Structure 1
Amino acid sequence: MAKKKQIELTIEEKLQNALVPKEEQPYKIPNNWCWVRLGNITQIKGGKRIPKGTSLLKENTGYKYIRVTDMKNGTVLNDDIHYISKDIYNKISNYTISKNDIYITCAGTIGRVGIIPVEFDGANLTENADKIIIKHINKNLLVKVLSSYIVQKQIQEVITTGCQPKLAIKKIEQLKIPLPPINEQQRIVERIESLFVKLDRAKELIENTLAQFEQNKMAILHKAFIGELTAKWRKENNIDLSSWENGILMDFCKINPKKINTKEFDDDMIVSFIPMPCVSDIWGKIVKKELRKLGEVKKGYTNFCEGDVLFAKITPCMENGKSAIVDKLENDIGFGSTEFYVLRCDENKLNNKYLHYFVRQKTFRDEAKGEMTGAVGQQRVPKTFLENYKMKVPTIEEQQEIVNILDNLLAKYNKIKNLEQQLEKIELLKKAILAKAFRGELGTNNPDEESAENLLKEILAEK
């Protein structure tokens, strides 16, 4: 049976098919812009997995292979690039990406978008990303459109779920984007970039300040636990470092002490519950407590009391310093994540605030990280590491002096930590700028310019 001859559409018919119907448009845009679907103005092709049984190489073979992990900050990073052999390249040579294309990640971390630096022109592309081939459209503008909330929201809505979430090419083609006239595209890019330069400079200054803060903080904590911070105090009190007691951590505190007996309590009694997210790794404090019925939590969860030190044992929470001292509890009973170790100090030997500062110092956390066991991504600090951790502990009086000094010093630094909120505000400002840009609200649009529909016709004529 003969195939039916495909009917050739006119440019006007193609235009009507390419435009997003008014009732489906996300919001109103300037009259000389138009809403289109990405697949109508670009061509989208997938990357390719290397053949089964082969491996990526670290040595430079001349054949670069771009992975999702290399795709960050709207570009491709060059600090850990992998390569493929010439034999593998010959097998997957059709799956390369050009410096004129845009990438979009479609598996793993989904929705990252960026340009291809010239040094990666012709590199092979992972199967977890697609390339967007464009003509007659400003490349930088398209990256910014696809990074904006309106498109990222669409992406999240169409991701397929399963063992590995995926963004299909057909779904990418259906993404709705606002298309300005070509000259307006360049003006928008220039305006966004001029605003972003100022924000990025402010961000850099804040990050440098925070980094310096962390270095100073670590130096202060180190001095505290080798006796330097209280050298003057010891001299004034006519004692020396020989007053510090050698031992292991379990000599001074109980680690995961026996649970309290809850038989005498009603299961409907309300108690405090602290899951892992309720402990701040930034501040080292419990930022929120939940209230639950005793019967819901008395089995399968860690039990603790006021004054206990909670220490996260799982990666990456432990490395980030997620720990806290338990404060007031509902009905004096607390439960929480089993991923916490509970450290209960012998009050005659160890000050709980001193211990809290001790386990938050980088030296201790680095040592704990080196002893972690378990599968990648699920590693934990063994209890034996804590129990047998060798340490020199000053007298209770000197511990209190160390705590007083650290409280006063770090209180000043904690004001600097408020700068982290400014980083969040910068990111929100960037999102707001992109939102305004693609509503035509940056003051760059010229309503007298020819409609973007003429640009769309030019693109459709070549497809």
Structure 2
Amino acid sequence: MAKKKQIELTIEEKLRNALVPKEEQLYKIPNNWCWTYFKDIFYIENGYAFKKIDYKKEGIPLVRISNIENGIVNINECIYVNKLEKNEEKYVIEKGDLLIALSGATTGKNGVYYLDEIAYLNQRIGNIKIKNKEKVLNEYRNYYIALKNEDILNLAYGGAQPNISPKVIEFISIPLPPIKEQQRIVNRIESLFAKIDRAKELIENTLAQFEQNKMAILHKAFTGELTAKWRKENNIDLSSWKEKTIDELCTSLKYGTSKKSKPEGSVVVLRMGNLQNGEIDWSNLMYTDDKEDIEKYLLKKGDVLFNRTNGSADLIGKTSIYRGEYPAIYAGYLIKLDYGKDIIGEYLNYIMNSNKARAYCNKIKSSGASQFNINAKKIGAFKIPVPTIEEQQEIVNILDKLLAKYNKIKNLEQQLEKIELLKKAILAKAFRGELGTNNPDEESAENLLKEILAEK
């Protein structure tokens, strides 16, 4: 049976279909802008299903999801493939292209390809192409996708390994300004972001210096240098220090509950995210009402918790002391170090957050299923210097005083979080036409959209 001939729409009909109905528009925009759909100004090219046997040590770089990092495409550790013989153009990545992960745990993450050399696009990645680069700027597209990243992720399906179809993305709506206004918006965003990034760099440098100073102080504390004067005044020799393992100092090393916690309940369940900078972070809490667990895992003031599992090698081994602020138990990813009479909890907490402990944890960690792990047996074998109880208390007293001022600096970490929120706020204003850049006398963006739609 012969196929029916597809009726060609007029440009006015195409425009009506491309404009988002007023009742579906997300918010008010300037009068010379227009709301349209993703599919009318962009399209997505899917990657090629390269196989492991195609991987080479040299050739054309192959971009995989792991190469998309922090808003850019990084091919420093990529693999290579030979030149494709058919339909190569579809899978070629060029400078300025915007790539987006279409499946996996990082679905929705995106990054710009800034290199001059071409690369190939692997499967499960989409290349968001602009239909007419003279009508829509790369940077305008990039910033809008960055703003809509969470919305795109919400369109994904598949639970633990979400996937998203390019067909679903097609009906995301986008405000389209005139081309000159697009450029002004991009310039304004980049100017504001540059100032924010300078502030962010200053904060990060301050925090890095703080961490360096803190580690130097802790090193002095656990080599005896910090209390040399105290020992002399008290006629105590450095030979009083003994080296002991965590196993020797602790009566037990207990794993926490394996049961699921919930958003509400009578008792807090501390998780690995609650262990921050040697203290308990009481935000983002989960709870339990399980009487058996509460009886078995209830923490007492002074208990020391060790993070035995993490997706980041740098964060495994984090240790914090519980000070009894709220009734709490602890989750299975944590180990409670039940220390005995030969060591003070605060001393143990400090030394478990030292470079010595970090180096040990890094050495003994094992990896599997994207997680790094340290079991109780391995942490129990960690040897630490142990002075007398009196000198331990003196070390704790000195460290508390020295690090008190630095703890105020740590509040800068909250400023870093605010900076990221500020960037989102700027983007939100930009795509509402609220950055003070719009010229209402410029030609309507509907004419711009017509020109895009008129092209074959």
TM over 0.5: yes
Provide the C-alpha distance between the structure 2 equivalents of 1:161 and 1:282, rounded to a whole number of angstroms.
36
Residue aligning to 2:137: 138
- For 1:316 and 1:275, locate their aligned partners in 2 and report how far apart those are by CA, in whole Å: 17
Query: By how many angstroms is 1:37 displaced?
Result: 0.7
| Range moving further from structure 2, 434-443 or 380-389 | 380-389
- Any idea what SS the aligned residue of 1:324 has? strand
Aligned mates of 1:226, 1:244 — CA distance in 2: 10
Counterpart residue type for residue 198 of structure 1: K
What residue number does 2:41 align with? Answer: 41
Instruction: Rate the CA distance shift 1:298–1:114 in 2: closer, same or farther, 3 A.
Output: closer
**TM-score where L is the length of structure 2:** 0.89
Which aligned runs of 4 or more in structure 1 are off by greater than 6 angstroms?
none
User: Partner of 1:263 in structure 2?
Assistant: none
Aligned equivalents of 1:379, 1:440: Cα separation in 2: 46
In structure 2, the residue matched to 1:262 is none
| Aligned equivalents of 1:196, 1:290: Cα separation in 2 | 35
Which residue in the other structure is 1:266 paired with?
A: none
Q: Normalising by structure 1, what TM-score?
A: 0.88
Aligned pair count reads 441
Work out the CA distance in 1 between the residues paired with 2:371 and 2:151. Answer: 32
Aligned to 2:6: 6
Distance 1:444 1:296, change over 3 A: farther
Change (3 A) 1:101 1:318: closer
* Aligned counterpart for 2:119 among listed residues 117, 123, 148: 123
How far did 1:14 drift? 0.7
1:310 is displaced (CA, Å) by 1.1
Mean Cα deviation higher: 153-162 or 430-439: 153-162
Residues of 2 paired with 1:37 and 1:455: CA distance? 14
Task: Report the Cα offset of residue 73 of structure 1.
Answer: 3.4
Q: CA deviation at 1:129?
A: 1.6
- CA distance, structure 1, for counterparts of residue 219 and residue 293 of structure 2: 38
Whether 1:275 aligns to 2:270 is: yes
Partner of 2:259 in structure 1?
none
Change (3 A) 1:252 1:153: closer
Structure 1 residue 2, shift from structure 2 partner: 1.9
Q: Is the contact made by 1:314 and 1:339 (CA closer than 8 Å) also made in structure 2?
A: yes
Partner AA of 2:22 in structure 1: K
Q: In 1, are the aligned partners of 2:278 and 2:349 still within 8 Å (CA)?
A: no
Aligned to 1:118, the other structure's residue is in SS state coil
Deviation of 1:227 (Å): 1.4
> How far off its partner does 1:292 sit?
4.4
Mean alpha-carbon deviation: is it higher for 369-378 or for 426-435?
369-378
Measured against aligned partners, the alpha-carbon deviations of 1:371-420 in whole angstroms (never above 9, x if no partner) come to 23462434421212232222321111111111111111111111111111
Q: Counterpart in 2 of 1:234?
A: 231
Q: Counterpart amino acid of 2:165? A: A
Shift of 1:296: 5.2
Moved more, 247-256 or 283-292: 283-292
Percent of aligned positions that are identical:
49
Partner Cα distance (1:271, 1:451) in 2: 58
Asked whether 1:24 is paired with 2:24, we answer: yes
Report the Cα offset of residue 114 of structure 1. Answer: 3.5
The alpha carbon displacement at 1:106 in A equals 1.5
Within 5 Å, which residues of 2 pair with 1:39-438? 39-51=39-51, 53-54=52-53, 56-57=55-56, 59=57, 61-86=58-83, 89-90=84-85, 93=88, 94-108=90-104, 109-120=106-117, 122-134=118-130, 135=132, 136-148=135-147, 151-162=148-159, 164-256=161-253, 272-276=267-271, 279-287=274-282, 292-293=288-289, 295=291, 297-298=293-294, 302-316=297-311, 319-320=314-315, 322-328=318-324, 334-347=328-341, 349-373=342-366, 375-438=368-431
Matched residue SS, 1:447:
coil
1:16 offset after TM fit, Å? 0.7
